[in-house]
């Protein structure tokens, strides 16, 4: 059987240093409230609210973009969707490598989309991914969703994962998770927007239960 777990994103995620205890004690409940609006403070405000300033850095996502292109054999006639695309930097990077690829990005954040690169802004749209997706069955060759689904509550997950699967021939999602108590503790300290705190075992169980047949990746807080 082909393994559906991928490991294309973890190395980028692990490059960041995180002070877990500091975050936990820094008025975290209030910071979570602010972060969950996904607006300017979350992206470009203080680190306590989210990214702490999320700018396009040339080259930062090039390797990831290339890995995705290779893994899913994307080419200039492919169509891809990024669900929860944020500022659209990954789509932008993929399009730099494959200029004629058709891209679509959806995200709930007005600020995220507003700050996306000018050349792809027309392909991005403010949209709540908990709603039915406005695309035909299998319209895309690949749908990706990185860092989105763990923000949903469990009752929202089933429908949104089914929709994500429906609109594309292949799917690849990444969620926050943990394999042991230390990673659970760190995740609980760090996460501002997460609502689904599940171990890798639980995620695999949930995905199977929902009939998800796509690829998935977990990131951890070590
Ligand atoms: C951790 S960020 C990941 C952004 C981007 N995918 C990346 O990997 O850099 C989570 C993203 O999910 C988006 N998001 C959260 N809830 C959402 C919802 N209900 N519908 C659509 N996007 C949502 C946020 O605005 C944010 O862009």
pLDDT digits (tens, 9 = 90+) for 13-55: 999 999 999 999 999 999 999 999 999 999 999 999 999 999 9
Question: What's the pLDDT at 47?
Answer: 96
The answer, yes or no, to whether any atom of ligand 1 lies below 6 A from the CB of 160, is no
How much is the average pLDDT of 176-185? Answer: 98
Question: Cα separations (Å) of 56 from 92, 115, 154?
Answer: 10, 10, 32
Cβ of residue 149 lying under 6 Å from some atom of ligand 1: no
State the distance from the centre of ligand 1 to the C-alpha of 193, rounded, in angstroms.
10
The domain over range 10-197+212-219 is classified in CATH as 3.90.550.10: no
**What is the CA 133 to chain-centroid distance, rounded?**
16
Structure tokens at 157: 């997950």
Per the document, the length of the chain is 222
What does the domain layout of the chain look like in residue ranges?
10-197+212-219
Q: Is the CB of 143 under 6 A from ligand 1?
A: no
Does ligand 1 have an atom closer than 6 angstroms to the CB of 214? no
Atom of ligand 1 lying closest to residue 148 CA: 12
CA atoms within 13 A on the CB side of 22: 5
pTM of the complete model beyond 0.75: yes
Mean pLDDT of the region 141-154: 98
């Amino acid at each position: 059987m082909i393994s559906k777990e991928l490991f294309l994103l973890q190395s980028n995620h692990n490059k960041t240093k995180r002070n877990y205890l500091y975050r936990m004690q820094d008025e975290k409940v209030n910071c979570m409230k602010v972060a969950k609006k996904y607006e300017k403070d979350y992206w470009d405000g203080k680190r306590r609210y989210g990214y702490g300033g999320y700018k396009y850095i040339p080259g930062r996502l090039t390797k990831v973009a290339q890995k995705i292109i290779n893994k899913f054999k994307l080419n200039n006639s492919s169509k891809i969707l990024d669900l929860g695309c944020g500022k659209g930097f990954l789509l932008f990077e993929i399009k730099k490598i494959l200029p004629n690829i058709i891209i679509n990005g959806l995200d709930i954040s007005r600020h995220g989309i507003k700050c996306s690169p000018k050349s792809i802004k027309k392909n991005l749209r403010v949209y709540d991914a908990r709603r039915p997706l406005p695309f035909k069955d299998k319209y895309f060759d690949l749908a990706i969703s990185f860092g989105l689904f763990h923000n949903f509550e469990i009752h929202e997950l089933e429908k949104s994962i089914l929709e994500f699967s429906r609109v594309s021939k292949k799917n690849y999602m990444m969620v926050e998770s943990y394999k042991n108590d230390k990673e659970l503790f760190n995740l609980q300290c760090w996460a501002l927007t997460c609502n689904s705190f599940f171990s890798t075992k639980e995620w695999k169980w949930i995905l199977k239960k929902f009939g998800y047949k796509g690829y998935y990746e977990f990131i951890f807080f070590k």
